[in-house]
Structure 1
Amino acid sequence: MLEVGEVGREASWAGGGIVSPLYPWRYSSAVSALAHWSQDFYPRFGEQLRLDSGVDPEVHVTGLYWLDLEDEERALQWAKEQGRPLGKVAMETVYAAIPCLGAGFERAICMPDVANVRNPRLLNALKALLKQLPNVKIVEGSGVTGFLRDGEKVRGVSTNNGDMKGSRVLVAAGAWSGELLAKLGVELPVEPVKGQMILYKSAEDFLPSMVLAKGRYAIPRRDGHILVGSTLEHAGFDKTPTNEALESLKASAAELLPALAEAEVVGHWAGLRPGSPEGIPFIGPVPGFEGLWLNCGHYRNGLVLAPASCRLLADLMLERSPIVDPAPYAPAGRLG
């Protein structure tokens, strides 16, 4: 496992950790299929990680309220068709459940079983577990500079630490995946999309549920930390946090949860999402390059789609019956 920097310090670390697409009804069935599988998988996965690694990723079931949605009816119809537990909630019920919520919201829908996971802890747990496995080697500080080829076969990679060979090569480099494939003359439509977040610290019982309005969300952690995000910026590979985004996020925080107007921002950071057409990831072999595989381009849903994406990839590599139809994610026909 080669990592140009430190494992788990890019988009996986920077995201909010909601175990659901922000607006699941706005995505294709391809995204929904992976999301549903992962959502069902995460609770037991989190507990198993805690037991095996000694690090608790804090899979925290809080539910999620969407407030004053423009496409509320579409969301409710999607839930009915998909059999998902999403429904209308009276605003007096919402304000009773979330006393800290800002005034003026008029409509709400809620999915009560949505969880969030604490990204850095999830990644630390995964890293600790991988280090215990005898057949896994993590090589950090190892940037890939090119691919080793034998005719049409890809047989490894060149790195700043020398050549590394293998019968199969998997590109799972997030926003940088397109740059890597370009070394082979392949146009992979994955590009960086910057997102900024801020973090507050409050009482542990301050915010009992996740809330989302006007494209911004607040996520409670078990220890009282509150994440508010996020921006959507096309700024290349620049990850510099900006004052403009800070003030915008603080304004959203104060509108959602007025008590945060007087609270101190204890963290502000940016990450790069791997943007892709319709947010549908690329999972499978690259045509014309035997031995080369992709698992990238998850855009805003990397964390929620990750377990299902990895399971699907393993199914395809091991020629097992796949958990979902692999056709929508296949690189064939989607690359330039």
Structure 2
Amino acid sequence: MTIQKNQTTAAGAQPSALIIGGGVIGCAAAYELGKAGFRCTVLDKGGLAQEASTAAAGMLGAQVETHQPGPFYEMCRASQRMYTEWTDELEQASGISVQYRAEGILRAALTAEDEQELRSRLAWIREAEWLEPSEMLRLESELSPDIHGGLHLPADHQVQPVWLAEALKAALVNQGCRIREWTPAIRLLSEPGTGRVTGVQTSEGPLYADLTVLAAGAWTPALTEPIGLSLPMFPVKGQCISVRTDAPLIRSTVFTKGCYIVPKLDGSYIIGASQLEAGFDKRIHVQTIAELHAKAVELLPRMAEAEFVRTWAGLRPGTRDALPFLGVWDEAPGLVFATGQYRNGILLAPVTGRIVKQLALSEQPFLDLAPYAPSRVLKAATATI
């Protein structure tokens, strides 16, 4: 993709980029573009990182969150490998710790059926070992004695998503990025005849840029449908709980089917997360809290003694084929897609930022983007006719 200066940009001036969506993905893209010399503006309909980014516990679960081999698993692993260097640099740029923890994840089986499914993953997971129940309990003695064993995933680390978002925001401010919160994007602006995207109409007027990055999460289809691309995306509500205990129970993240418990440096634990297609409804439901806590107690019995801290919900951007939309579309030059990461936005932030930067600089992306091409929805629609 060749960046063309639009009519509002003087010849020889610093190229401009407009990022629609202020979640971790959008901010990571802006951060990498800022390092590449772009003058960036991040636009969000609300406050930064208030949707999918806040529905996260911060797991970097390339192994635990993927269920089959293939390109998406490899992209998750690539981003996971980038994380330590990326966050070290981000902390230097922002002065804020992202609270990176490297204790790994224990994925426990509570049923024979779950044990069988987990053992089947050993054929393709790169960094995992099977542990018998006694070995699991040696690592984390508070786990339920009823576990059937599980996977030890030492490369699956974690960060604190709230502090990651704060670090990204501070780094962007230090770069000189303009941050426009509470400014909804109404429609994409494009040149008549060429279809080239030149910016976005907002509630406060038009904004123009040489490059527009679409990282609007579950709200993306409203912007792409008017330009002829109907993306099968939808919001998935994720509800989490924060609790606290009088003394630490675990060091590793522990995970079972339907529930994970992530220990944080402040002594709290995040328990999550529900998955519910309920439109854009972010209401908190007592039944969901009860179900999550009951599952947590089944895995870690002393969670029954925990003090309740708070609960919250965010909307993740789901896609029907469970793959993000990452790349460009020939019919809309000047536009880069970086959306639909669903449960993996925190994990995929470094790799997405790098790929957006490579596309902006007309470089060959270091990963094959064919599986994530926005145009795949058009091919799928043609195939069904």
Q: TM-score, normalised by structure 1?
A: 0.94
Task: Provide the rounded CA distance (Å) in 1 between the counterparts of 2:246 and 2:77.
Answer: 32
What displacement does 1:242 show?
0.4
Counterpart contact for 1:67–1:212, Cα < 8 Å: yes
Match of 1:102? 144
Letter in 2 for 1:91: P
Letter in structure 2 aligned against 1:78: W
Tell me which residue corresponds to 1:76: 122
CA contact (8 A) 1:285 1:292 kept: yes
Candidates 319, 336, 344, aligned match of 1:293? 336
1:163 to 2:206 alignment: yes
Instruction: Note the 1:242-261 alignment, pairs <5 A.
Output: 242-261=285-304
The 5 A counterparts of 1:103-122 are 103-122=145-164
Structure 1 counterpart of 2:21: none
What do the CA deviations read for 1:58-114 (whole angstroms, capped 9, x no partner)? 1111111111234123210012xxxx2201112112112212112211221111122
Q: In structure 2, do the counterparts of structure 1 residues 272 and 25 end up closer, same or farther at CA, with 3 Å as the change threshold?
A: closer
Equivalenced residues, count: 331
Deviates more, 1:201-210 or 1:111-120: 201-210
Which stretch has the larger CA shift, 277-286 or 240-249?
277-286
Q: CA deviation at 1:16?
A: 1.1
With 277-286 and 11-20 compared, the bigger mean Cα shift is at 277-286
**Root-mean-square deviation (Å):** 1.7
Farther-moved stretch of structure 1 (318-327 vs 116-125) = 318-327
Q: Displacement of 1:290 after TM fit?
A: 2.1
Shift of 1:271: 0.9
Structure 1 residue aligned with 2:16? none
Q: Secondary structure at the match of 2:309?
A: strand
Q: Does 1:239 align with 2:285?
A: no
Amino acid at match of 1:74: S
Aligned residue in 1 for 2:235 = 192
Offset of residue 224 of structure 1: 1.6
Q: CA deviation at 1:23?
A: 3.7
Q: Is the 8 A contact 1:147 1:158 kept in 2?
A: yes
1:1-336 correspondence to structure 2 within 5 Å: 1-21=42-62, 23-27=64-68, 29-68=70-109, 69=114, 70-79=116-125, 84-134=126-176, 136-151=177-192, 152-203=195-246, 205-335=248-378
Identity %: 32
Work out the CA distance in 1 between the residues paired with 2:364 and 2:332. Answer: 23
Instruction: Tell me how far 1:122 sits from its aligned partner.
Output: 0.2
Higher relative contact order (CA 8 A, sep 6+): 2
Deviation at 1:145, TM superposition (A): 0.9
Q: Any stretches of 5+ residues in structure 2 without a counterpart?
A: 1-41
SS of equivalent to 2:141 = coil
Contact 1:3–1:142 (CA under 8 A) maintained in structure 2: yes
**1:143-180 residue CA offsets vs partner (Å, 9 max, x unmatched):** 01112221222211110111111122211011111222
